[in-house]
Amino acid sequence: MGKLIAIRHGQSTWNAENRFTGWVDVDLSEKGIQEAEKSGKLLKELNISFDICFTSYLKRAIKTLEIVLEIAEKDMNYTKAWELNERHYGSLTGLNKTEMKKKLGEESFKKYRRSWDTPPPRLDKDSEYSSHKDPLYKNLKNIPNTESLKNTYDRVVPYFEKYIEKHLKQNKNVILSAHGNTIRALGKKIFKISNEKINMLEIPTGNPLVIDFDNSGKFLNAKYLDTSRKNEIISNQ
């Protein structure tokens, strides 16, 4: 099996402002650009081949991947898929997390932000942040108005199983530049994390996570390349 290198995009402008972002197409912050550049350097130092790349429709993930490939001196095409987008945060989109925590209370805020299957209230289709107005999705049916992590899992994992896993089984190394909840959903599958514990899986921005599998496709180990910013890998295996 090949290696899966999962990278959450570098810090975005809305990450820096502590806002719920979801499907809104915000750019990288200056810090995010630096994180992407460091990711590229770390992958270059890894000194392995990269065979295929995937990312979402959102510019913060796309730019992270492009910076990584440039720094790592890899001239490669990549595949974009809306299924790899960040979780849709519904009516929380654009709002400040600290302010909403005070308004909603600890329990409701935690439920909407990190529970497995409770989505926030729906975002109105007329909202300035609605993806129904975004030309990126003009050919997409059933654009979400809110999502739980389970909803995100239900699009990310089938895409992974259909389009990405086969390359790993062909012993190819795959780069996935995506989002915190994209990688959290995929991590739930790969690391076999329970519904109750998945809220504990934190994904740092701009820090490549290298995942190894055995020949049968079973998870062997995972490590963050920037050890100064690594988070615990939770696994029920």
pLDDT tens sequence across 81-120: 999 999 999 999 999 999 999 999 999 998 999 899 999 9
Measured between alpha carbons, how far is 53 from 176 in angstroms, rounded to an integer?
6
Per-position DSSP letters for 109-167, written without gaps between them:
HHHHHH-SS-PPPPPPTTSTT-GGG-GGGTT-SS--S---HHHHHHHHHHHIIIIIHHH
Which candidate in 9, 35, 83, 147 is catalytic?
9
Would residue 221 count as lying in a domain?
Answer: yes
The dihedral built from the CA positions of residue 174, 10, 28 and 156, taken in this order, carries a sign that is positive
Would residue 124 count as lying in a domain?
Answer: no
pLDDT at 61 over 80: yes
Average pLDDT over residues 24-33: 97
pLDDT tens sequence across 190-227: 999 999 999 889 899 999 999 999 988 889 999 999 88
Average pLDDT over residues 28-51: 94
Average pLDDT over residues 64-79: 95
Domain extent, residue 36, equals 4-89+148-229
Task: Report residue 234's pLDDT band, with 50, 70 and 90 as the boundaries.
Answer: low
Whole-model pTM: value is 0.94
User: So what's the pLDDT on residue 235?
Assistant: 62
User: So what's the pLDDT on residue 236?
Assistant: 59
Beta bridge partners of 210: 5, 223
Would residue 106 count as lying in a domain?
Answer: no
Say what percent of the chain tops pLDDT 90. Answer: 82
- Whether 86 is a known active-site residue: answer yes
Q: Cβ(61)–Cβ(9) under 8 Å? A: yes
Q: Which amino acid is at 5?
A: I
Which candidate in 86, 88, 147, 179 is catalytic?
86
- Answer with the residue of higher pLDDT: 231 or 170: 170
User: So what's the pLDDT on residue 216?
Assistant: 87
Would residue 127 count as lying in a domain?
Answer: no
- Whether 9 is a known active-site residue: answer yes
pLDDT tens sequence across 161-194: 999 999 999 999 999 999 999 999 999 999 999 9
User: So what's the pLDDT on residue 188?
Assistant: 96
Whole-number average pLDDT of the chain: 94
Would residue 219 count as lying in a domain?
Answer: yes
CATH number of residue 191's parent domain? 3.40.50.1240
How many domains does one find in the chain?
Answer: 1
Would residue 117 count as lying in a domain?
Answer: no
Closest to 93 (Cα-Cα) out of 150, 147, 173: 147
- Answer with the residue of higher pLDDT: 58 or 226: 58
Measured between alpha carbons, how far is 11 from 39 in angstroms, rounded to an integer?
12
Average pLDDT over residues 138-166: 96
User: So what's the pLDDT on residue 133?
Assistant: 84
pLDDT at 237 over 70: no
Would residue 187 count as lying in a domain?
Answer: yes
Measured between alpha carbons, how far is 150 from 191 in angstroms, rounded to an integer?
16
Would residue 95 count as lying in a domain?
Answer: no
